Structure 1
Amino acid sequence: MTNIQIRTFREEDAEVVKELFTLAMSEHVPSSFTHLLKQPPTQMLLMCVFCSLMASSKSFLLPILAVTLLLAGARQLVVYMFNSYIETTLKKDLNNISDTYLKQKDSCFWVAESDGRVVGTVACLPAELSPGCLELKRMSVRRSYRGLGIAKDLCRTVANFTRDRGYPAVVLYTSVVQTDAQKLYEHMGYQKIREFVVPELIAKIVNFTLLEYRLDLQQDGKKN
């Protein structure tokens, strides 16, 4: 069995933490593209373009080419959205993890280590949108180490940290396309309390929905 240790972030972990975050976010491009294709406005646009060009050109080639180009453009739009989010995050809290998470009150950043290799991350800090709660952030586990219970241990680490500091609950945000993450959080006792579309223009175009989850904690030392 793989020996996993969860410990507090150290400065020498910075680059691998950024790598794990980038890889984890990039994994969601295909599912997000599929999500976009399932949206009625997308399907209507493709159908209208195909039928219009079919009627005007009397040929299959032009409408097929046009739809193909639209699909390629849609995928690039999704890639751009994720790359922008990754770049912004790397420049913000992940640019100086110690200042953001270790030097601030009621905040922390942990890594999961296996035989000296960082294979997972998680963090928490006071929630901006839910005063009086802590927010779980930056959860990721290297693909080859999934299924070993690492993500569950990282979730428990945040819950215990939150409980020890007297906060009543943990909140987190995940996306509609992250179905594995949703199953994990629900298994750990989180309840979905809200859905909303990201306010940025591109996210609105692709109907990129975020889900808010909440885990209420007992304050008697027992796990929820």
Structure 2
Amino acid sequence: MAAVQIRKYRDDDGEMVKELFLLGMSEHVPSSFVHLLKQPLTQMVLMCTFCALLTSSKSFLLPILTVTLLLAAARQLVVYQFKSYIETSYKQDLNTIGETYMKGEDSCFWVVENEGQVVGMVACLPNENVPDCLELKRLSVRRSHRGRGVAKALCRRVADFTRERGYAAVLLYTSVVQTDAQKLYEHMGYKKVREFVIPDIVAKLLNFSLFEYRLDLQKDKKGN
């Protein structure tokens, strides 16, 4: 951590932040594809297709080619879902970080800078459904700077900010395929409180779950 600096977001960080987010999300495509292949529905479709074509064609070539095409299509579906999520995230807040995070008293966006390059980031803002909690969002660290305690430092920054603002806890959401993130949060004291499937027909078919984590804090609010 000696060679990096955690500071508040500036407007000229915008493109580097979006690039970091894109790289981080793209890393989850392979694990999401494996998750898809493990689903009983996927396995049933592939097996039924293979057996039906093998029976009707009396040849291994056609069913093998068809299953290969189905696998390629499935991977493209995963890629499409991630691209859609990335575009939605840009429109939702990453194109307007200054407006979304930097103007409110109870929200903030931090970046980790190393030699003029943004190598990490995290944000927080009030949770829409739980008024006494801030939500940790957009945590990402460039692969080249992982294993140096950067992600832990960013988590602590959000926890300190949340405590200073007098909120009871930090909430965050991560997906079933983000196993490294889950280990990090649990190491930092977060407890898994809920699991749910994204309200999207493709996510439901793929059984793509989200986990809600909560870190309870000792309040440090003036007057309490």
What TM-score range do you get, normalising by the shorter chain? over 0.9
1:92 partner SS: helix
2:42 partner SS: helix
In the alignment, which residue of structure 2 is the partner of 1:179?
A: 179
User: Which amino acid in structure 2 is aligned with residue 138 of structure 1?
Assistant: R
2:218 partner SS: coil
Length-normalised TM-score, structure 1:
0.96
In the alignment, which residue of structure 1 is the partner of 2:149?
A: 149
Any idea what the Cα deviations from partners look like across 1:130-152, whole Å, max 9, x if unmatched?
A: 22100000000001000000000
Shift of 1:2: 4.8
Instruction: Answer yes or no: is 1:169 the counterpart of 2:166.
Output: no
Any idea what the Cα deviations from partners look like across 1:36-94, whole Å, max 9, x if unmatched?
A: 00001100110000011111111000110110011001000000000000011112201
Runs of 4+ in 1 over 4 A off after TM superposition: none
Aligned 8 A contact 1:119 1:145 in 2? yes
In the alignment, which residue of structure 2 is the partner of 1:31?
A: 31
Aligned 8 A contact 1:101 1:124 in 2? yes
Any idea what the Cα deviations from partners look like across 1:163-219, whole Å, max 9, x if unmatched?
A: 000001000000000000000000000000111110112211221110000000012
In the alignment, which residue of structure 2 is the partner of 1:55?
A: 55
Aligned 8 A contact 2:166 2:220 in 1? no
Q: Distance in 2 between matches of 1:52 and 1:175?
A: 35
2:101 partner SS: helix
Q: Distance in 2 between matches of 1:15 and 1:2?
A: 25
Shift of 1:220: 5.0
Q: Distance in 2 between matches of 1:4 and 1:217?
A: 27
Instruction: Answer yes or no: is 1:109 the counterpart of 2:104.
Output: no
Q: Unmatched 5+ residue regions in structure 1?
A: none
2:219 partner SS: coil
Length-normalised TM-score, structure 2:
0.96
Aligned 8 A contact 2:193 2:213 in 1? yes
RMSD between superposed Cα atoms in Å: 1.2
Instruction: Answer yes or no: is 1:199 the counterpart of 2:202.
Output: no
Aligned 8 A contact 1:174 1:211 in 2? yes
Q: How many residues align?
A: 221
Q: Distance in 2 between matches of 1:78 and 1:57?
A: 30
2:105 partner SS: coil
Aligned 8 A contact 1:2 1:114 in 2? no
